[in-house]
Amino acid sequence: VICTVLGNGGFGTAFALLSHRAGHRVRLWGHDPEYTAELARTRQNPRYLPGVELPREVQVGADAKPALARAEVVVLAIPTQHLRSVLTAVQAQVPRGVPVLSLAKGLEQGTALRPSEVAALATGGRNPVLALSGPSHAEEVARDLPTAVVLAGSDDWHAARLQDQFATPRFRIYRHRDLLGVEIAGALKNVIALAAGIAEGLGFGDNSKAALLSRGIVEIARYGRARGAEPETFFGLAGVGDLAVTAFSVHGRNRAFGVRIGRGETLAQILSSERRVAEGVWTSRVVRDQARSLGIEMPICEAVCGVLHEGLPAPVGVQRLMERDPKSEELG
Amino acid sequence: VICTVLGNGGFGTAFALLSHRAGHRVRLWGHDPEYTAELARTRQNPRYLPGVELPREVQVGADAKPALARAEVVVLAIPTQHLRSVLTAVQAQVPRGVPVLSLAKGLEQGTALRPSEVAALATGGRNPVLALSGPSHAEEVARDLPTAVVLAGSDDWHAARLQDQFATPRFRIYRHRDLLGVEIAGALKNVIALAAGIAEGLGFGDNSKAALLSRGIVEIARYGRARGAEPETFFGLAGVGDLAVTAFSVHGRNRAFGVRIGRGETLAQILSSERRVAEGVWTSRVVRDQARSLGIEMPICEAVCGVLHEGLPAPVGVQRLMERDPKSEELG
């Protein structure tokens, strides 16, 4: 099929490579004409996926019209906070009725909407929207290392088709019914990974990180249940699987961001030097505000948000978490 | 209180240090007179916990009688496969009625008993037996890095006392009701960590490892439920928390062992060169045999056992796991 990937960051580029391997005609679109021209010319993505070569068959361009013409699948590899503006700008070119597959893991600031909801709004409800999530670092997907993900969507027929179209022996796709839970898991694991990174930056070890992970997944599940998701979604690939890799892997961007915060940099300092910020930075605030208004107890999210956005010193924030002292382990 | 730690490996030594910090009179006993004398003389444990100094107040010795005399808590830091023989040899010296706290994470070969069951048998039922588990690498506990664990036992009064006696601001102890589940989680996570290590040794990445972790915790929970444990135990500190750290941390012994297997060494080769073998090596066979006889589906455990004990080539074993192909993610 003709597959158009919108967004030429790390995962967009990796997904373009995957689609190419799966036998599709692939177009990789980026919003930045200059950088995209560099990709097209060098067949490399030095900023987001260094060392990986783009096959010639993958068309690369910054012009949405040819990129989306006759597309049969549209993949959204755009950070959550930019999804609405990018998609609104190109939506007229998206062929009506073709499935739109979101790869974003976040919640939109201001609206608290999930990426699939933003996509559905931006395309005017003319396209079925699905989401792919799970432990899938772009660096490894690009190199065809074995990966397993979940694909969720309200539309079973399209979910099954996309599964058939994009699964390869080294990229397993499991269908999942709980789109809401899958997207919540993907968004919130970034916040817990930030906490894990902050603890690491403060000099804490893997025991602390594992404790944060354990309590983090319970916190995510609590939020998810309050929002109507299925609790067991959080104990699968999209939940603990993705959280573990985000919190522990060298590739974890949110973890790495947290480490810098833990070592004493401020959000403002990092923002002034970095092109892109870890998704969890914004998600933490969206979730914290929602959790407060809905009365959901989310101590890790509170602490991360306090440290990132309200000047709470990192050692104090982490100390608060460690001092929370229920006498027995309660889940859910 | 007077706290006697039986076993001067890494975790035994770390727990002795923790007990000392918690204000107790600590005796650290080891079965090897020569090595134990070296510890006593140098105040170091170079083989299992290099670089950590034992305070003078911690008494170190290989004579069980003085070590256990008037002990008020007895801590078992002995590998599961040696627990019965060691404890049987010294049980006459264990003061009647004092709590015995097991730190072991495995199942006994031949009997499939849990460490607390072995301990109860070996002490003739004269002592309450409890277990401590969770993500707690000795290297980090010894250095007083923040750690959170669970403590489980059928006897609530003793559990609460031990919690009060050994919890510190940097070593949180959560009480847990499900002793069976906590011990199963501790034993089986080692098998999944072996699988993660094997995959790593074969050159797979963190995405694969996270997929194994996700499917592994479901497999552990399935076994646990069949044995009568509470499913949610596996999604707490003793379950996903410990599994994540064992599978991803540089400290993970089972992971590291798996890496060697994945790189092509055989179990026999490693056994001939190593003093100690990762607990999961034996647990994998115990669990596999039980799972078969009880009809519990445990593909990861089957694969690990096949690779370790039956000459199944590691690439084939891992391939089998990756090829298992349910179309949707099913938990439980």
What's the length of chain B? 332
- Chain B residues within 8 A of A201 when measuring between CB atoms: none
At A329 the pLDDT is 72
Contact criterion met (CB < 8 Å) for B211 and A169 = no
Contact criterion met (CB < 8 Å) for A244 and B240 = yes
DSSP label of A276: -
Q: Tell me if B291 sits within 8 A of B234, measured CB to CB.
A: no
At A126 the pLDDT is 96
Residue of A nearest to B327 (CA): A174
The CA distance from A139 to the nearest CA of chain B, in Å, is 10
Contact criterion met (CB < 8 Å) for B328 and A207 = no
User: Across-strand partners of B45?
Assistant: B49
Q: How far is it, in rounded angstroms, from Cα A190 to Cα A133?
A: 12
Tell me the ipTM for this assembly.
Answer: 0.93
- Chain B residues within 8 A of A206 when measuring between CB atoms: 135, 137, 140, 245, 248-251
Q: How far is it, in rounded angstroms, from Cα B218 to Cα B192?
A: 11
The pLDDT tens digits of the residues spanning B27-50 come to 999 999 999 999 999 999 999 999
Q: Is residue B332's pLDDT more than 50?
A: no
The set of residues, in sequence order, having a beta carbon less than 8 Å from that of A243 and lying 6+ positions away, is A185, A189, A192, A193, A213, A216, A217, A220
DSSP label of A238: I
Q: Which of A132, A139, A207, A218 has the most B C-beta neighbours within 10 Å, making it the best mutation to test the interface with B?
A: A207
What tens-digit pLDDT sequence spans chain A (332 residues)?
999 999 999 999 999 999 999 999 999 999 999 999 999 999 999 999 999 999 999 999 999 999 999 999 999 999 999 999 999 999 999 999 999 999 999 999 999 999 999 999 999 999 999 999 999 999 999 999 999 999 999 888 999 999 999 999 899 999 999 999 999 999 999 999 999 999 999 999 999 999 999 999 999 999 999 999 999 999 999 999 999 998 888 888 899 999 999 999 999 999 888 877 789 999 999 999 999 999 999 999 999 999 999 999 999 998 888 766 656 675 54
Q: How far is it, in rounded angstroms, from Cα B163 to Cα A291?
A: 32
Q: From the CB of residue B169, how many other CB atoms can be counted at a distance below 10 Å?
A: 11
Q: Which of B105, B189, B209, B327 is catalytic?
A: B189
Q: Is residue B326's pLDDT more than 70?
A: no
At A271 the pLDDT is 87
Q: Among partner residues A148, A207, A247, which is closest to B140 by beta-carbon distance?
A: A207
Contact criterion met (CB < 8 Å) for A207 and B247 = no
The CA distance from A58 to the nearest CA of chain B, in Å, is 24
Kind of pairing between the strands at A49-53 and B2-6: unpaired
Kind of pairing between the strands at A129-133 and A147-153: antiparallel
The pLDDT tens digits of the residues spanning B296-319 come to 999 999 999 999 999 999 999 988
Burial label for B144, CB within 10 Å (0-12, 13-18, 19+), is middle
Q: Among partner residues B134, B217, B250, which is closest to A240 by beta-carbon distance?
A: B217
The CA distance from A152 to the nearest CA of chain B, in Å, is 10
Separation of CA B33 from chain center: 24
Q: Percent of chain B scored above 90 by pLDDT?
A: 89
At A94 the pLDDT is 98
Angle at the Cα of B293 from the Cα atoms of B287 and B294, rounded to 5 degrees? 85
- Of B234, B314, B301, B236, the closest CA to residue B270 belongs to B314
C-alpha dihedral (B102, B107, B110, B112), degrees to nearest 10? 100
Strand order in the sheet with B25-29: B59-61, B25-29, B2-6, B73-76, B100-102, B129-133, B147-153, B171-176
- Chain A residues within 8 A of B232 when measuring between CB atoms: 331-332
Alpha helices in chain A (DSSP H): 10-21, 33-42, 64-68, 80-90, 115-122, 138-142, 156-166, 179-201, 206-227, 242-248, 253-262, 267-273, 280-294, 299-309, 314-323
At A332 the pLDDT is 42
Contact criterion met (CB < 8 Å) for A248 and B251 = no
Q: Tell me if B26 sits within 8 A of B59, measured CB to CB.
A: yes
Task: Share the mean pLDDT of chain B.
Answer: 94
The pLDDT tens digits of the residues spanning B38-85 come to 999 999 999 999 999 999 999 999 999 999 999 999 999 999 999 999
The CA distance from A92 to the nearest CA of chain B, in Å, is 33
Q: Tell me if B274 sits within 8 A of B253, measured CB to CB.
A: no
User: Does residue B209 carry a catalytic annotation?
Assistant: no
- Chain A residues within 8 A of B139 when measuring between CB atoms: 205
What secondary structure, in 3-state letters, does chain B show? CEEEEECCCHHHHHHHHHHHHCCCEEEEECCCHHHHHHHHHHCEECCCEEEEECCCCCEEECCHHHHHCCCCEEEECCCHHHHHHHHHHHHHHCCCCCCEEECCCCCCCCCCCCHHHHHHHHCCCCCCEEEEECCCCHHHHHCCCCEEEEEEECCHHHHHHHHHHHCECCEEEEEECCHHHHHHHHHHHHHHHHHHHHHHHCCCCHHHHHHHHHHHHHHHHHHHHHHCCCHHHHHCHHHHHHHHHHHHCCCCHHHHHHHHHHCCCCHHHHHHHCCCCCCHHHHHHHHHHHHHHHCCCCHHHHHHHHHHHCCCCHHHHHHHHHHCCCCECCCC
Residue of A nearest to B324 (CA): A172
The pLDDT tens digits of the residues spanning B146-177 come to 999 999 998 889 999 999 999 998 999 999 99
